[in-house]
Chains A and B, each alone.
Chain A
Amino acid sequence: MSMQGSRMQTTGSPPLLEVASVGKSFGALAAVADVSFALRERDILGIAGPNGAGKTTLFNLITGTPFFPDSGRVTFRGTRIDRMAPHRIFRLGLARTFQKEASFANLTVEQNVSLGATYGAGLSGRARERAVDAALERLDLSAMRRQPASSLTVYGTKRLMLASAIVVGPKLLMLDEPASGLTASEVADLQSLILGFRDDGMAILLIEHILPLLFGISERVMVMDFGRKLIEGPPSEVARDQRVIDAYLGGQSEAAHALAG
């Protein structure tokens, strides 16, 4: 853990999320092996790596969906969550979006968000209405609230997942490739949304292939390859690291370097 950012060393309180030597194998394939990192409140940690590096699997291990880690520990807000039922993890304040659209297509936009408010935050009546309204407003979905979720655009569906995630007021938001399939202006909009969530007090864990976004908003970046953590550090350092360039960045390294610098 030599590459942690300065915030990590100056603050004394325990981290919000602590992942310790987590691993998961499928048969002979180690999808995630011995990965450790920590995240403090309002931190933004970006996770990069080639396809199949184990990024989404790592997310799955943290949220216990659809499987638990074989080894290691995950601690969130001081509570062990590596064997906890996923819906209880969510209720502790850890929300997540998925790479593939994972809204409930047959339900309306409002019903989608309302489910999170009902089951995740245990809200009902007026309090639930207010929370749902605020989340829809925040993600600019108020006008579409009565439409079926299936009628939304790609970015609309992404915003719906975000609305359902933030309606419970999570402490940690885990985003799995939120920018994939978006236009440049939508990516810019998404970037300001994510920074806004951070300013509201959420820590962010972000998997993203669009490197300008990842390096632009992350305070630290972790790069994974073959299920292992290759490096973790400030974006500028990570972008210069030769192993990272070899493993992943390739042709994009110039751009990443320029942005991070």
Chain B
Amino acid sequence: MTQALAFLYNPHRFMAFSAWAAPLFGALALALAAAGLWLGFTAPEDYQQGDTVRIMFIHVPAAWLGLFVYVCLGGASFLSLVFRQALADAAARAAAPIGAVFTALALATGSLWGKPMWGAWWVWDARLTSVLVLFLFYLAYMALRASIDDEAKGARAAAILALVGLINVPVVHWSVEWWNTLHQGRTVFAAGGSRAATVFLVPLLLMSLSYMSAFGALWLVRIRGEVWRRRAAAAEARLAR
């Protein structure tokens, strides 16, 4: 793991690796989504949720990714802050908009499922509220970076904010156990094994892998963009001398 990270610290190696890895992840995401959607729309209706169970195939992966991307953002911020790794800072900056979109999708699709099932678009439930806080951390991270003209100072301030936001990650994950919530408890990773029927579990896992691959592709592409942006800034500085 450390060797893999050390390999990717080098921008030249990273650019060579990401040039073939990003399209590969993208193609994998599309193939997995095609399989997941097919199985999702051939699955029977749930005996309680009816057809709205199909929203779960995109809601749950978006929620998982919203959380996972934040862990990546926090990890990259830590490497950037402690080891002053420029590529880690680029990775943190690149992860934020992707994580924000996944979290917004989790909130939106959850709301669209909640209205017919709970009779409400929104409730101030511990899980929903902690995911909203997660979304606000993403927005605050991006706003903070954008608001400080000195890029190095902005990166440091945003990295500290990202690390503070990591406190919210276990709160999101265990909120359904720590508090009495309307949101259902853990289903797929429940103690004693998944409580979801295989006919729903398989498309859910395929869609989750698809979202994960899509994140891999998008993250690599955005980090590449960040590397190019910094190279442009360096060339501009050379020309200004």
Answer whether A and B are interacting partners: no
- B residues with a Cβ closer than 8 A to A are none
